[in-house]
């Protein structure tokens, strides 16, 4: 499959979970992929694994909440490949707590990584995309944008990402750049496992209870999100702009 042949993609939070699944899918479609992440050991492991499959990848230890680090990494990608075609803003972190117990640090770090990070990365890549009159930005939101107990920081950040998506779609569409968002439901990732642990549940029990509430009868896999992201990156989606698609196994999942 070569729907993204010759394209250059940046995936944040690409060392594991959904980000890793997205990186692999874009690489399978022919893209050259640069991974941005703070987890050096996981990043190195993922790059090695995907390179062994014949894919072209680079990686950068980058905190997306730091605009200088982001600008530096994006500049290096553009210098190496001559352009940046695709950005997937996937980097994320959880600091769940009820409002009465949530600290300033809990709030700020989640907002910084998810929302500020998405802004930093979009701002850094847009000049290269404008110059080439082509670009695809896909922001990873969440069903929790609609609200979730103990997740006021996460829900606010993910809702903000949807607003950012629609605004950037309006601003950048004239330059051949589309901006869309994928909002996952419950996905089998380490983050979900950590969440189950925080509830005092085994992951198996958590999955069983959660799947019973999802119309398709299962929780999602990273590849489910990767397929949606890849579609937004293709030429076939060029008239889809400013949209949010919930990939959650049901309309209320």
Task: Please give the full DSSP string across 200-212, using - where no structure is assigned.
Answer: T--HHHHHHHHHT
- Whether 154 is a known active-site residue: answer yes
CA distances from 216 to 132, 163, 236, 249, 253 (A): 41, 28, 27, 5, 10
C-alpha angle with apex 184: 170 to 19, nearest 5 degrees? 90
Tell me the C-alpha distance between 111 and 153, whole Å.
Answer: 7
Tell me how long the chain is: 253
Q: Do residues 252 and 144 make contact, with C-beta atoms less than 8 angstroms apart?
A: no
Residue of 60, 81, 128, 154 with catalytic role: 154
Instruction: Give the integer Cα–Cα distance in Å for 22 and 11.
Output: 8
Determine the distance from the C-alpha atom of residue 24 to the mean position of all C-alpha atoms in its chain, rounded to a whole number. 13
Surface-to-core class of residue 158, CB atoms within 10 Å of its CB (0-12 exposed, 13-18 middle, 19+ buried):
buried
> Cβ(182)–Cβ(229) under 8 Å?
yes
Q: What are the residue numbers of the active site?
A: 154
């Amino acid at each position: 499959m070569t729907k993204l042949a010759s394209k250059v993609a940046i995936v944040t939070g690409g060392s594991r979970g959904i980000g890793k699944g997205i990186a692999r899918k874009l690489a399978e479609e022919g893209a050259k992929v640069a991974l941005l992440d703070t987890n050096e050991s996981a990043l190195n492991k993922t790059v090695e694994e995907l390179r062994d499959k014949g894919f072209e990848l680079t990686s950068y230890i980058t905190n997306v909440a730091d605009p200088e680090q982001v600008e530096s990494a994006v500049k290096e990608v553009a210098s190496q490949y001559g352009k940046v075609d695709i950005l997937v803003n996937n980097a994320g972190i959880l600091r769940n707590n009820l409002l009465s117990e949530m600290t300033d640090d809990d709030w700020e770090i989640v907002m910084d990584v998810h929302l500020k990070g998405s802004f930093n990365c979009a701002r850094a890549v847009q000049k290269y995309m404008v110059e080439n009159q082509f670009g695809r930005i896909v922001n990873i939101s969440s069903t929790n944008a609609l609200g979730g107990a103990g997740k006021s920081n996460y829900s606010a950040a993910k809702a903000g990402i949807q607003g950012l998506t629609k605004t950037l779609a309006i601003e950048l569409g004239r330059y051949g750049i589309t901006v869309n968002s994928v909002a996952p439901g419950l996905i089998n990732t380490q983050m979900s496992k950590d969440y189950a642990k925080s509830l005092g549940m085994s992951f198996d029990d958590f999955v069983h209870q959660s799947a019973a509430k999802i119309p398709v009868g299962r929780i999602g896999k990273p590849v489910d999100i990767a397929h949606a992201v890849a579609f937004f990156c293709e030429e076939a989606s060029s008239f889809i702009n400013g949209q949010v698609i919930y990939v959650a196994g049901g309309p209320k999942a």
